[in-house]
A and B are shown apart, each in its own frame.
Chain A
């Protein structure tokens, strides 16, 4: 995986006539994890939605590998996002959900391998509606594993996960960074991700 870089310059965001953040700068390169902290309503999700390109910042620019993100098509080839919703279809089985995600991206791991890695082996034929909130979260993680996306943008990835699953999730984040990936996440939990690769932004 060649080196990638996400750079934000002077991001400025207003929501409902309140300034959420201004003059926000950061540079994230391959192998790094960016943790965005802040109290409720501080603008964590708004920042993530700006980084995914869904929202436009009031001013400021984003650069992906030194190129300004105008044409999001190229950027989206490299980016995966898990929001508050997992982006899973309730009435499809776990395998159907993953197969659909792979059909839209570059696939890497096989579906069975990805599901085994997140501890969902044997759930391939289970309809997502009958899975617990934590299992859905893990299925969303399996989606990240079976598609090739250098940049992961995760909004509160640890919600509704038990302690063991959080640990598992953190391990995957660390491995992804070590393999040259980039991770941006918000979290209320203390993380065990090593400080050498961790950057923090407090909003």
Chain B
């Protein structure tokens, strides 16, 4: 008889969420389809202006990715809250922050990693240069986890509300702004041939800050939502 290790608990949470997502494949496709649809509509609306398209392509892709992430994050704790498994997760001897981090990691794996594979195709479609696409991917890799981590706080805070979706978006969008600014700054710099290391370092710093700081308030908000 031994208490399961923190690592076992962490991987059990991730594994469970991945299996659950696999059983609800349709929900998994939604954000991806949204991402592709938004991006394909832009060239149609802008007309045959390749230079303009090329110029705004990174912004389009980033905004679409941000909204796709926002779309899927509402369900991060919702179903667990509804069926009582959140109580089970809170009532473990393990640190809830770490389990929260596991849930957010699962969300990132499910919602952002597929986008990383489609984004280069979208970039090619919008006439982006291949080296700029590389930088874009790098910013998505560094920035998307931050979106999931920050979104987690807002989701946990609005969990007790029946229709918390809009409020959550209002809470979370301002916090998404810095990562959007640094990401598009990096891609802009790459397009003009300037060094991008400054922007990327800043994004790395934000990522590490978010990994260390956001699980704690998320865990606290989850506990509050149960009272």
Contact = CB atoms under 8 A, between A and B. Distances in A.
B85 A104 contact: no
Interface in A112-162: 148
A108 B24 CA distance: 31
Chain B interface size, as a band, is 20 to 34
A176 B88 CA distance: 20
A191 interface: no
Interface in A83-133: 83-92, 96, 99-108
A87 B85 contact: yes
A81 interface: yes
A73 interface: yes
The 4 closest A-B pairs by CB, nearest first: A85-B84, A103-B12, A77-B93, A87-B84
B49 interface: no
A6 interface: no
A90 B4 contact: no
B83 A88 contact: yes
Contact of A104 (B23, B83, B94): B94
Interface in A46-60: 49, 52, 54-56
Interface of A: 49, 52, 54-56, 73-74, 76-77, 79-81, 83-92, 96, 99-108, 148
A104 B15 CA distance: 13
Given A85-B82, A89-B20, A99-B12, 7 more contacts: A52-B91, A54-B227, A87-B88, A88-B85, A91-B24, A103-B4, A104-B9
A103 B4 CA distance: 6
B73 to A, nearest CB: 19
Contacts of A105: 3-4, 92-93
Interface of B: 1-4, 8-9, 11-12, 16, 19-20, 23-24, 82-85, 87-95, 223, 226-227
Contact of A76 (B2, B23, B91): B91
Contacts of A91: 20, 23-24
19 contacts: A55-B227, A76-B92, A77-B3, A77-B92, A79-B91, A85-B87, A87-B84, A87-B85, A91-B20, A91-B23, A92-B19, A92-B20, A92-B23, A99-B12, A103-B9, A103-B12, A105-B4, A107-B1, A107-B4
Nearest to B24: A91
A100 B12 contact: yes
B226 A54 contact: yes
Contact of A85 (B12, B83, B90): B83
A102 B4 contact: yes
A102 B4 CA distance: 8
A131 to B, nearest CB: 13
A173 B215 CA distance: 37
B82 to A, nearest CB: 7
